[in-house]
Amino acid sequence: MDTDRGAIRRARIGLLSSHTQAAKAAERELRELYEWAGDEDTDTIVALGGDGFMLQTLHAMLEGGVSRPVFGMNKGTVGFLMNEWRTEDFIARIAAAKPVRVAPLEMRATTVSGSSFTHAAINEVSLLRETRQTAKIEISVNGRVVLPELACDGVLVATPAGSTAYNLSARGPILPLAAKMLALTPISPFRPRRWNGAILPDDTEIRFRVLEGENRPVSAVADQYEVRDVAEVNVRLDRSRALTLLFDPDHALDERIAMEQFAT
């Protein structure tokens, strides 16, 4: 264990935790062991919680316009985006950590009433039917209509980092982190029945146009941000806002994503 309590503060490492009991208890333990940098003096962040809290932390940086490397430790349920919880040797551990750059998707949504919204998504942008009626969605890729009508519960675009989340549950492909691809995956497609989705280069712009939107309302969700009653949604990767996650070398995100292909 690091014996110099002030070394972490001097290394400008800050500490955040989710609101859960387990994460708060872990934060108290670490604050008793070490001195941490304040918000304005932080170069690196240690985040305690689960995958949801990691996404929340990354979105806060996107909205604040200040990006710092984040080293997550799992005090949640799955912890796919997190490292193992340990209290010792933080400076050496973070110095040895493997940085992984993650670029978010940009979702630009226009509603039936004409309002416009822009949100970022680390994992996926999904379109979902709002009522019992099937959604009908036209899909264009780089300005060309590739699917005139998809009748479905919904459809999503996932990044490689998000390909093992909702995308995988919808039977979409797992994308290696270095693949420079996006997954376009239908959710419970009704027509055409045999369309299983597509894998597209990550410089592709995808446009969804909702057909019969007033009678068959559809919402668009960028991670946790929902826009209801959308008429059109444009999705593209925004490399200019890439974020950095830090992982223990033996527990890196790219290896974890690759091994998910062999999970049973």
Q: Which of 2, 4, 51, 203 is catalytic?
A: 51
196 is in an annotated binding site: no
Residue 14, SS3 per DSSP? strand
234 is in an annotated binding site: no
Beta carbons of 52 and 81 less than 8 angstroms apart: no
51 is in an annotated binding site: yes
215 is in an annotated binding site: no
229 is in an annotated binding site: no
**Nearest to 181, CA basis, from 196, 195, 200, 165:** 200
H or E segment to which residue 15 belongs: strand 13-17
74 is in an annotated binding site: no
Beta carbons of 74 and 50 less than 8 angstroms apart: yes
124 is in an annotated binding site: yes
166 is in an annotated binding site: yes
Q: Tokens for 87, please give them.
A: 């209290």
Beta carbons of 234 and 205 less than 8 angstroms apart: yes
Active site residue 202: no
**Nearest to 161, CA basis, from 100, 220, 226:** 100
**Nearest to 227, CA basis, from 212, 213, 215:** 213
Beta carbons of 138 and 123 less than 8 angstroms apart: no
123 is in an annotated binding site: yes
Residue 131, SS3 per DSSP? coil
Binding residues: 51-52, 123-124, 153, 161, 164-169
Which are the catalytic amino acids?
Answer: 51
Binding residues for NAD(+): 51-52, 123-124, 153, 161, 164-169
